[in-house]
C-alpha cells in the first residue's frame, strides 16, 4: 500500500495542532447547543455525532442540549394542527405541548442518542423533567400596541423560561461515563411541562455546571461585521458596542445575549459557530483558527 506523504503530513499537522487543546480541555465540561441544519442534513448529523464521541474519548465532558423546531413544525403539519405565532414564538396549547414532548423528548432526542451509539459513544437522553433537572416558569412576552402605545402581555401557553437548574442527574451521568443529551423541556410549579428555548437551557446549564465553554451551533458563520466577515476574539464590551451600532440585530440578538450572560456568569468562553460545516465543533475547539465567533468576558 502506497502512503501519500503529503496527506500523511497534513494528518500529522492536524493532530499536533490539536494536542495542546486536548490537554487544556481534558476533564472540563463543554455544553453544546445542537440545532439548525446540523440536525437535518444526514452528513452533518453523522459528523456531529463523531465529534461528540471523540471529545468524550479524549477526556472532555460534552453535554448536548438540542432544539427541534423544524421537526415539531413537520409533525404539527402531518397532524393537521395549525400553528399560531406571537412575537416570533409558537403559541403552545396543551395539545401542541403533547406533540412537542413527543417530538423533542422522543423522536429527536433518541435519534441523537442512536447516532452517538453508532459511532461508539455511550449517550443517555433525558428532558428537563427528569431528575428535576430544569425548573421552568411560564414565559410572558409583551407586545406594544400601535393604538395606545402600551405594552400588553401575550399568553403563549406552555412556553417557559428557566427558573432554576439542578444538575445532579447530569453530573451522575458524566461520572458514569455517559454523554447527556437533553431536550429543552422543563416542569413548572404547577406540574405542567413547558417548552423552553434550547439556547437558554444550554446557557443556564453551562453556568450552573461551571462549564469551560458554551458552544452554540447556528446556520451562519458566526457574528458578522458590516462587510459580512466573521468576527472572533470578541470581549463583552465589543459585543455591547456592536449591538448599539446595529451590527448585531434581529434573530441573532437572543443568541448573543445568551452567550454574554454565560461568560458574565463564569463560563470560560462562548462560541457561535456554523453548524453547516462538517466537524464544526472539532474545528472550533482543536484548531488555532477556529471557524466561528469566540466571546469572552
Q: What pLDDT is attached to residue 150?
A: 62
Q: What pLDDT is attached to residue 199?
A: 95
Which stretches within 58-194 are classed as H helix?
69-78, 94-101, 109-118, 168-175
CA atoms of 159 and 153, how far apart (whole Å)? 14
Tens of pLDDT, residues 80-95:
998 888 877 888 999 9
CA atoms of 167 and 164, how far apart (whole Å)? 10
Instruction: For residue 157, give every residue at least 6 positions away whose Cβ sits within 8 Å of its Cβ, in sequence order, or none.
Output: 91, 92, 93, 94, 96, 97
CA dihedral 17, 222, 204, 152 (to 10 degrees): 180
pLDDT tier at 38, thresholds 50, 70, 90: confident
Domain coordinates in residue numbering, the chain: 27-296
Predicted confidence (pLDDT) at residue 2 exceeds the cutoff of 60: no
CA atoms of 224 and 276, how far apart (whole Å)? 16
CA atoms of 207 and 212, how far apart (whole Å)? 9
- Which grid coordinates are listed for 29? 465540561
Tens of pLDDT, residues 251-275:
888 899 999 999 999 999 999 999 9
Q: What are the CA-CA distances from residue 297 to residues 99, 170, 262 (Å)?
A: 39, 26, 9
DSSP 8-state symbol, 189: T
Long-range CB pairs of 16-22, under 8 A, 24+ apart, other chains included: 17/286, 17/287, 17/288, 18/282, 18/286, 18/287, 21/285, 21/286, 21/287, 22/58, 22/59, 22/60, 22/286
Is CATH 3.40.1160.10 what the domain over 27-296 is classified as, yes or no?
yes
Amino acid at each position: 500500500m502506497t502512503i501519500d506523504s503529503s496527506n500523511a503530513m497534513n494528518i500529522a499537522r492536524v493532530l499536533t495542532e490539536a494536542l495542546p487543546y486536548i490537554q487544556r480541555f481534558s476533564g472540563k465540561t463543554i455544553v453544546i447547543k445542537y440545532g439548525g441544519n446540523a440536525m437535518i442534513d444526514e452528513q452533518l448529523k453523522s459528523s456531529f455525532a463523531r465529534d461528540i464521541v471523540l471529545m468524550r474519548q479524549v477526556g472532555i465532558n460534552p453535554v448536548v442540549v438540542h432544539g427541534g423546531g423544524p421537526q415539531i413544525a413537520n409533525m404539527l403539519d402531518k397532524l393537521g394542527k395549525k400553528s399560531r405565532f406571537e412575537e416570533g414564538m409558537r403559541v403552545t396549547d396543551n395539545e401542541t405541548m403533547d406533540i412537542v414532548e413527543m417530538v423533542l423528548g422522543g423522536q429527536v432526542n433518541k435519534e441523537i442518542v442512536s447516532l452517538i451509539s453508532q459511532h461508539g459513544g455511550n449517550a443517555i437522553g433525558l428532558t428537563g423533567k427528569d431528575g428535576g433537572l430544569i425548573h421552568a416558569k411560564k414565559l410572558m412576552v409583551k407586545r406594544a400596541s400601535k393604538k395606545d402605545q402600551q405594552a400588553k402581555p401575550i399568553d403563549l401557553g406552555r412556553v417557559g423560561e428557566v427558573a432554576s437548574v439542578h444538575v445532579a442527574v447530569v453530573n451522575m451521568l458524566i461520572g458514569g461515563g455517559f454523554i447527556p443529551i437533553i431536550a429543552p423541556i422543563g416542569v413548572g410549579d404547577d406540574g405542567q411541562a413547558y417548552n423552553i428555548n434550547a439556547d437558554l437551557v444550554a446557557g443556564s446549564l453551562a453556568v450552573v455546571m461551571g462549564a469551560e465553554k458554551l458552544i452554540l451551533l447556528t446556520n451562519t458563520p458566526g457574528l458578522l461585521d458590516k462587510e459580512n466577515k466573521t468576527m472572533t476574539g470578541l470581549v463583552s464590551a465589543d459585543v455591547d458596542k456592536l449591538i448599539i451600532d446595529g451590527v448585531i440585530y434581529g434573530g441573532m440578538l437572543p443568541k448573543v445575549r445568551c452567550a454574554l450572560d454565560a461568560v458574565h456568569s463564569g463560563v470560560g468562553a462562548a462560541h457561535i459557530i456554523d453548524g453547516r460545516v462538517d466537524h464544526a465543533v472539532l474545528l472550533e475547539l482543536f484548531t488555532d483558527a477556529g471557524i466561528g465567533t469566540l466571546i469572552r468576558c
